[in-house]
C-alpha cells in the first residue's frame, strides 16, 4: 500500500496573499516538492495552507519554497496524525478496497456506505452479527423496560374508576419474547441487509489482526490487503478490578437479561443510565433493588434539578439508592455480599445477585493496534479526530470502540463518515453539539446541548428557565406530573444552548429542542422564535414552548394554549 510511509500534516501561515491567484501560486509552489502529496488552501483570506507530507521533510524547505514566490510562510503546526487531507482510493479490479472489522451499527453502516460508493468490502465478524444494540443492548433492554412499565401501570393506575391489577410475572416468557425480537431484528436489519450487497460486501468470520504493512490477517490465516481499514469492533460491559469481582460472581447487563429466574434481590454497582434503567425495570417486576453509586449522586453529569427529582421518584418506587460509596470487595455464598466504605465507615450489603453497571471496555484485544501506530486513550478506546481518523492515515475507526459517546445512532453516523472520508478523501465531520441523549427510566431523562454549568464555563451570559411538569396540560391529563423541563440560553444572542427534560415521553420531545439549537447556530433561530411557534394542544412537546415562555413570563398566570 502506498500509505506505508510516515505521513505528517503541516499547517503553514502565509502572509501576503491578496487574491485567489495568490493562493494558486502558493499551492503550486508547495506541490512542486516531491514529498508533498496534497495541499489545501481554503481561501487566500484565511492566510494559511494545509500540507500532507509523505516521508521526512525539513520544515525550512516548505517555508523556503513559498518565500521564493514572494510570500512569507511559517510552519505553525506539525504532527503525525491523520490529516484531513486524505488521498482518494481508486477501486481495485481484484481484492478488497476496505476491510471493516465489526458488524454492529457502525460496522454495517460503514460497509453499506462503501458499497453505495462502489467499493468492495471485506466485513469481518468474530462473534454475533449485529453488535451490541440489537443483541444485548438497546433492543432487549427497552423491550423489558416497556414490559415493566405496563406491569407497573396495571398495579398503580392513577385513574379513578378504572380497576386494573397485575398478576405474577412470567419471567421466562418475557425473556423468550425478548429473544425472539432480537433474533428477528438481527436477521432483518443486519444479516438480510448485508446480503443485499452480494457484489460489494463479503462477510468473513474470524478474529482480525492488523500487521505493520496495514494488512489484515484472520485467525484462520486469511490475509487481506486493503487500501483502507475501518475498525468498528464496539465495546463490552466493564467489570471493576476489585477483590472477588469476576464474571462468576457478578452479572453484567448482558447476563442479567438472560437469567433463567427473576431475582428476588439485586445490588447494582453504578448509578448512570444502564444501572438506573435495569434497576427500575427489575424493581417494577418485584425485585428488591439497591443501587450503590461511587459519585455523590446518580447521573452526576445531568442538571441538579433532574438529579434530585429522579432520585426521589426512584426512591418512592422502593429502590434503595446509596451514594458516595467505595466498593471494597465482593464475596460469594448463599447470598452475595458487597463490602463498601461510606464516609470512612465499613458496611455490607447482601443480595441474590450483583449487577455491575460501570461503563464499557473497548474490543481492541490482540488486534495489533500498537504495531500499526493506532493511539488509544487511557481506557483503551481508539482516539479519533472529528473525521473518524486515527493516528494511522490508512486506518479509521467508528462507534463504541472509539472515544465517541456510546450511542448506536452516533455509531451508525460515524461509520458512514469514516468510510466516505477514508475512501473518497472527503472531510466530513461528526458534529456532536446537537446530539440528544436519553435515559429510559420512568420518567425519562432526555438532554441535548449544554448544561447551565457548561454554558457558564464556556463564557456565555447564561439565562435559564425551569418549568415543573404540573404546568404542562398533557401531563395533567395523564395524571402524571413527575418531572420538569429546563432550558439554557445565551442572554446576549437569545439563542437556545441546551434543553434538559425529565418526563414521560421525554425522548419524543428532545428532537424539537435539538432542532432549535441547530437552527440557532445556522440561521439565528432564537428563544423568541420558539415562543411564537404553534404547538398542538395536549401534547407533551408543548412543554418546550411553555419552558421558553417561562424565560419572560409567569406560566401560572397563563390560560390554556396562551402565549
Cα(324)–Cα(385) distance, rounded to whole angstroms?
A: 35
Say whether both 143 and 276 belong to one domain: no
**Is residue 171 packed enough to be buried (19+ CB in 10 Å), middle (13-18) or exposed (0-12)?**
middle
pLDDT recorded at residue 562 = 60
Contacts with 173 (C-beta within 8 Å, 6 or more apart), sequence order:
none
Is residue 519 among the annotated active site residues? no
Say whether both 473 and 548 belong to one domain: yes
Cα(419)–Cα(56) distance, rounded to whole angstroms?
A: 28
Please report, for residues 186, 225, 235, 413, 527, the alpha-carbon distance to residue 416 in angstroms, rounded to integers and kept in the order given. 20, 21, 19, 5, 33
Contacts with 49 (C-beta within 8 Å, 6 or more apart), sequence order:
11, 12, 14, 26, 27, 30, 39, 40, 41, 66, 73
Cα three-residue angle 205-209-215, rounded to 5 degrees: 100
pLDDT recorded at residue 6 = 64
Answer yes or no: is 541 within a domain.
Answer: yes
Say whether both 48 and 111 belong to one domain: no
The distance in angstroms from the start CA to the end CA of the chain is 64
Q: Which domain holds residue 337?
A: 253-358
pLDDT recorded at residue 272 = 97
Q: Is 174 strand, coil or helix?
A: helix
pLDDT recorded at residue 351 = 98
Residue 340: which CATH number? 3.50.50.60
Q: Could you say which of 336, 358, 380 is where a domain stops? A: 358
Q: Could you report the per-residue pLDDT of 398-417, keeping only the tens digit for each?
A: 999 999 999 999 999 999 99
Active-site position among 409, 533, 537, 561: 561
Answer yes or no: is 84 within a domain.
Answer: no
Active-site position among 19, 409, 533, 537: 19
Answer yes or no: is 38 within a domain.
Answer: yes
Is residue 17 among the annotated active site residues? yes
Active-site position among 17, 257, 388, 430: 17
Sign of CA dihedral 78, 81, 87, 92: positive
**How many residues make up the chain in this entry?**
563
Cα(558)–Cα(537) distance, rounded to whole angstroms?
A: 14
pLDDT recorded at residue 259 = 96
Among the listed residues 502, 489, 478, the one whose alpha carbon sits nearest the alpha carbon of residue 548: 489
Residue 31: which CATH number? 3.30.70.100
Answer yes or no: is 336 within a domain.
Answer: yes
Q: Could you say which of 311, 338, 358 is where a domain stops? A: 358
CB 11 within 8 A of CB 60: no
Active-site position among 38, 119, 133, 367: 133
Please report, for residues 67, 170, 183, 399, 406, the alpha-carbon distance to residue 140 in angstroms, rounded to integers and kept in the order given. 63, 16, 10, 19, 17
Is residue 533 among the annotated active site residues? no
Say whether both 127 and 75 belong to one domain: no
Say whether both 445 and 491 belong to one domain: yes
Active-site position among 22, 435, 454, 515: 22
Say whether both 328 and 183 belong to one domain: no
Say whether both 418 and 457 belong to one domain: no
Is residue 71 among the annotated active site residues? yes
Residue 509: which CATH number? 3.30.390.30
Q: Where are the beta strands (DSSP E) in 42-97?
A: 48-54, 72-79
Answer yes or no: is 311 within a domain.
Answer: yes
pLDDT recorded at residue 1 = 38
Is residue 313 among the annotated active site residues? no
Say whether both 513 and 395 belong to one domain: no
pTM (2 d.p.):
0.84
Cα(432)–Cα(498) distance, rounded to whole angstroms?
A: 13
Say whether both 179 and 305 belong to one domain: no
Answer yes or no: is 1 within a domain.
Answer: no
pLDDT recorded at residue 52 = 81
Question: Edge to edge, what strands does the sheet with 484-490 contain?
Answer: 437-439, 444-449, 495-503, 484-490, 462-468
Say whether both 26 and 163 belong to one domain: no
pLDDT recorded at residue 83 = 42
Active-site position among 38, 48, 71, 190: 71
Say whether both 232 and 377 belong to one domain: yes
Answer yes or no: is 248 within a domain.
Answer: no
Say whether both 508 and 389 belong to one domain: no
Domain count for the chain, please give it. Answer: 4
**Is residue 531 packed enough to be buried (19+ CB in 10 Å), middle (13-18) or exposed (0-12)?**
middle
The segments of the chain whose pLDDT lies below 70 read 1-7, 77-86, 561-563
Cα(43)–Cα(24) distance, rounded to whole angstroms?
A: 10
Q: Could you report the per-residue pLDDT of 196-247, keeping only the tens digit for each?
A: 999 999 999 999 999 988 999 999 999 999 999 999 999 999 999 999 999 9
Cα(336)–Cα(331) distance, rounded to whole angstroms?
A: 6
Please report, for residues 531, 541, 555, the alpha-carbon distance to residue 535 in angstroms, rounded to integers and kept in the order given. 10, 8, 16
Please report, for residues 53, 54, 66, 524, the alpha-carbon distance to residue 63 in angstroms, rounded to integers and kept in the order given. 13, 17, 5, 40
Cα(313)–Cα(317) distance, rounded to whole angstroms?
A: 7
Answer yes or no: is 14 within a domain.
Answer: yes
Cα(101)–Cα(125) distance, rounded to whole angstroms?
A: 6
pLDDT recorded at residue 65 = 92
Residue 42, all three cell numbers: 481554503
Is residue 356 among the annotated active site residues? no
Helix (H), strand (E), coil (C) string for 353-409: EEEECCCEEECCCCCCCCCCCCCECCCCCECCCCCCECCCCCEEECHHHECCCCCHH
Sign of CA dihedral 490, 494, 497, 503: positive
Query: Maximum distance among all alpha carbons in the chain?
Result: 89
Active-site position among 138, 435, 454, 519: 138
Q: Could you say which of 302, 334, 358 is where a domain stops? A: 358
Amino acid at each position: 500500500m502506498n500509505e506505508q510511509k510516515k505521513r505528517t500534516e503541516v499547517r503553514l501561515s502565509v502572509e501576503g496573499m491578496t487574491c485567489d491567484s495568490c493562493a494558486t501560486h502558493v499551492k503550486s509552489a508547495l506541490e512542486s516538492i516531491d514529498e508533498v502529496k496534497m495541499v489545501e488552501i481554503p481561501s487566500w483570506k484565511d492566510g494559511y495552507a494545509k500540507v500532507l507530507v509523505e516521508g521526512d521533510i525539513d520544515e525550512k524547505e516548505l517555508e523556503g519554497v513559498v518565500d521564493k514566490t514572494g510570500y512569507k510562510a511559517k510552519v505553525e503546526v506539525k504532527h503525525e496524525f491523520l490529516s484531513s487531507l486524505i488521498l482518494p482510493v481508486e477501486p481495485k479490479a481484484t481484492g478488497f478496497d476496505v476491510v471493516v472489522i465489526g458488524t454492529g451499527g457502525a460496522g454495517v453502516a460503514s460497509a453499506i456506505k462503501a458499497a453505495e460508493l462502489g467499493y468492495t468490502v471485506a466485513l469481518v465478524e468474530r462473534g454475533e452479527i449485529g453488535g451490541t444494540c440489537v443483541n444485548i443492548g438497546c433492543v432487549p433492554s427497552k423491550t423489558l423496560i416497556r414490559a415493566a412499565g405496563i406491569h407497573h401501570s396495571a398495579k398503580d393506575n392513577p385513574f379513578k374508576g378504572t380497576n386494573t391489577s397485575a398478576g405474577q410475572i412470567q419471567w421466562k416468557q418475557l425473556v423468550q419474547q425478548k429473544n425472539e425480537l432480537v433474533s428477528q431484528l438481527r436477521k432483518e436489519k443486519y444479516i438480510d441487509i448485508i446480503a443485499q450487497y452480494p457484489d460489494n460486501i463479503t462477510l468473513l468470520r474470524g478474529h482480525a489482526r492488523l500487521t505493520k504493512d496495514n494488512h489484515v490477517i484472520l485467525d484462520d490465516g486469511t490475509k487481506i490487503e486493503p487500501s483502507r481499514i475501518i475498525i468498528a469492533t464496539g465495546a463490552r460491559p466493564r467489570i471493576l478490578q476489585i477483590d472477588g469481582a469476576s464474571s462468576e460472581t457478578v452479572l453484567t447487563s448482558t447476563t442479567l437479561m438472560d437469567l433463567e429466574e427473576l431475582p428476588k434481590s439485586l445490588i447494582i454497582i453504578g448509578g448512570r443510565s444502564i444501572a438506573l434503567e435495569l434497576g427500575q425495570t427489575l424493581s417494577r417486576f418485584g425485585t428488591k433493588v439497591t443501587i450503590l453509586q461511587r459519585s455523590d449522586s446518580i447521573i452526576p453529569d445531568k442538571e441538579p434539578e433532574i438529579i434530585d427529582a429522579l432520585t426521589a421518584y426512584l426512591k418512592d418506587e422502593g429502590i434503595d439508592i446509596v451514594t458516595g460509596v467505595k466498593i471494597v470487595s465482593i464475596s460469594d455464598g448463599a447470598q452475595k455480599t458487597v463490602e463498601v466504605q461510606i464516609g470512612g465507615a465499613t458496611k455490607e450489603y447482601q443480595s441474590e445477585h450483583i449487577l455491575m453497571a460501570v461503563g464499557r471496555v473497548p474490543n481492541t484485544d490482540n488486534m495489533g493496534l500498537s504495531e500499526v501506530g493506532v493511539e488509544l486513550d487511557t481506557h483503551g478506546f481508539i482516539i479519533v479526530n472529528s473525521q473518524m481518523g486515527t493516528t494511522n492515515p490508512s486506518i479509521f475507526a467508528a462507534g463504541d470502540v472509539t472515544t465517541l459517546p456510546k450511542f448506536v445512532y452516533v455509531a451508525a453516523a460515524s461509520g458512514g463518515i469514516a468510510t466516505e472520508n477514508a475512501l473518497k478523501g472527503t472531510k466530513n465531520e461528526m458534529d456532536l453539539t446537537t446530539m440528544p441523549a436519553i435515559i429510559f427510566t420512568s420518567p425519562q431523562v432526555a438532554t441535548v446541548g449544554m448544561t447551565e454549568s457548561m454554558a457558564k464555563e464556556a463564557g456565555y451570559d447564561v439565562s435559564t428557565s425551569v418549568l415543573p411538569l404540573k404546568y404542562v396540560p398533557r401531563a395533567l391529563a395523564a395524571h402524571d406530573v413527575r418531572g420538569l423541563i429546563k432550558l439554557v440560553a445565551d442572554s446576549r444572542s437569545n439563542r437556545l444552548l441546551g434543553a434538559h427534560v425529565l418526563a414521560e415521553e421525554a425522548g419524543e420531545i428532545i428532537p424539537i429542542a435539538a432542532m432549535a439549537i441547530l437552527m440557532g447556530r445556522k440561521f439565528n433561530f432564537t428563544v423568541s422564535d420558539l415562543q411564537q411557534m404553534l404547538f398542538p394542544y395536549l401534547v407533551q412537546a408543548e412543554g418546550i414552548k411553555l419552558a421558553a415562555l417561562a424565560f419572560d413570563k409567569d406560566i401560572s398566570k397563563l390560560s390554556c394554549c396562551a402565549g
